[in-house]
């Protein structure tokens, strides 16, 4: 197999097709942040330990720091910038505000993206299950009880 320093990839990011020439070393996270100026997705550790870089890749939540951009060729990516439709907050975003589920806000885009996926996955049958399945997203300000309250409220909005 031939090693190429640069590759051309096509990704559908927040509904827009983007064709880009990328460095083979570039992660999806750095592609978003440094090449596309989508800086809502945060870099907290760059090793898949904190969840601040959570995005949806073909509908699944992933740590974008652990995904090479080249390997995501042809994929559909949703970031925090793609969540609010036409200026209206997503119910999960609104729930985070209503339940004071953040302080410094740095982990928040990842927490919100994880919550949207968590609800879709159905890992919401109990508070304990929510806490377990939200544990890939660290919050050092430690707003965990408020995050769980926000998740539960967002579920109610979806059901109601």
Partner 1 sequence: MSIGEPFSRIDGPIKVTGTARYTADLRAANMLYGVLVTASIPAGKVTGIDKGGAMLEAGVVRVLTHEDMPRARTPIAGPPFAHSFLPLQDDQIRHEGQVVALVLAESLEAAEAGARKVQVRYAPTKATMPVALAWPEIDRAAEPPRNTGYFFLEPEFSKGDAVHNLAKAPKTVATVYSQPSRHHNPMETSAVLALWEGDALTVYDSTQHVFAVQRGLAALFGIPPASVRVISQHTGGAFGVKGLIGAHEALAAQAARIAGRPVRIALSRANMYSFLGYQPRIVQKMGLGADEKGILTGITHDVVNLATVTDDYIEAATEASKALYATPTMWLRQRAERANVAMPTAMRAPGEGPGMWALESAMDELAVDLGMDPLDLRLANYAETDPATGAPWSSKKLRDAYEEGARLFGWRDRPRFPWRDGDWIVGQGMASCLMGTFRFPSRAQVRLRRDGSAVVETGTQDIGTGVLTIFPQIAADVLGIPVSAIEFKMGDTTLPEAGPTYGSSSTMGVGAAVLAAAQDVRNRLARMANLSPAEVCMADGRIGRTGAAESFSVADILERAGESEIVGTGSFDPTKHGAGYSMRTFGAIFVEVGVDPELGLLRLRRAVGSYSVGRIVNPRTARAQLLGGIVWGWGMAAMEQSAFEPSLGRFLSKNLAGVAIPVNADIPSDITVHFVDEVDEKASPIGGKGIGELGATGVAAAVANAVFHATGKRIRDLPITPEKLIA
Per the rule left: phi > 0, alpha: psi between -120 and 50, beta: everything else, 14 is left
Q: Which is nearer to partner 1, 75 or 79 (CB)?
A: 79
Which one of the spans 11-19, 56-64, 70-78, 88-96 is the region binding partner 1 (CB under 8 A)? 88-96
3-state secondary structure of 156: helix
How far CA 33 is from CA of 26, 69, 113, in Å, comes to 11, 12, 16
Using CA atoms, how far apart are residues 57 and 11, in angstroms rounded to an integer? 10
Least separation in angstroms between residue 41's CB and partner 1 is 7
- Strand arrangement, sheet containing 16-23: 16-23, 6-13, 76-78, 54-57, 60-63
49 contacts partner 1 (rule: CB under 8 A): yes
84 contacts partner 1 (rule: CB under 8 A): yes
141 contacts partner 1 (rule: CB under 8 A): yes
121 contacts partner 1 (rule: CB under 8 A): no
Name the site residues for partner 1 (rule: CB under 8 A). Answer: 23, 25-26, 30, 33-34, 37, 39-47, 49-50, 52, 79-81, 83-84, 89, 93-94, 96-98, 100, 102-109, 112, 127-128, 130-132, 134-149
């Amino acid at each position: 197999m031939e090693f190429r320093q640069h590759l051309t990839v096509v990704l559908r990011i927040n509904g827009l097709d983007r064709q880009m020439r990328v460095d083979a070393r570039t992660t999806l996270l750095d592609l978003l942040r440094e090449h596309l100026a989508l800086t809502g997705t945060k870099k907290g550790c760059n090793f898949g330990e904190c969840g601040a870089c959570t995005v949806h890749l073909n509908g699944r939540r992933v740590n974008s720091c652990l995904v090479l951009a080249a390997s995501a060729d042809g994929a559909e990516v949703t970031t925090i910038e793609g969540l609010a439709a036409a200026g209206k907050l997503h119910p999960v975003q609104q729930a985070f505000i209503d339940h004071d589920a953040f302080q410094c806000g740095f982990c928040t885009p990842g927490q919100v993206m994880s919550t949207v996926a968590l609800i879709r996955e159905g890992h919401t049958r109990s508070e304990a299950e929510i806490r377990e399945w939200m544990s890939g997203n660290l919050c050092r300000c430690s707003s965990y009880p408020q995050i769980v309250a926000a998740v539960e409220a967002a579920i109610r909005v979806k059901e109601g």
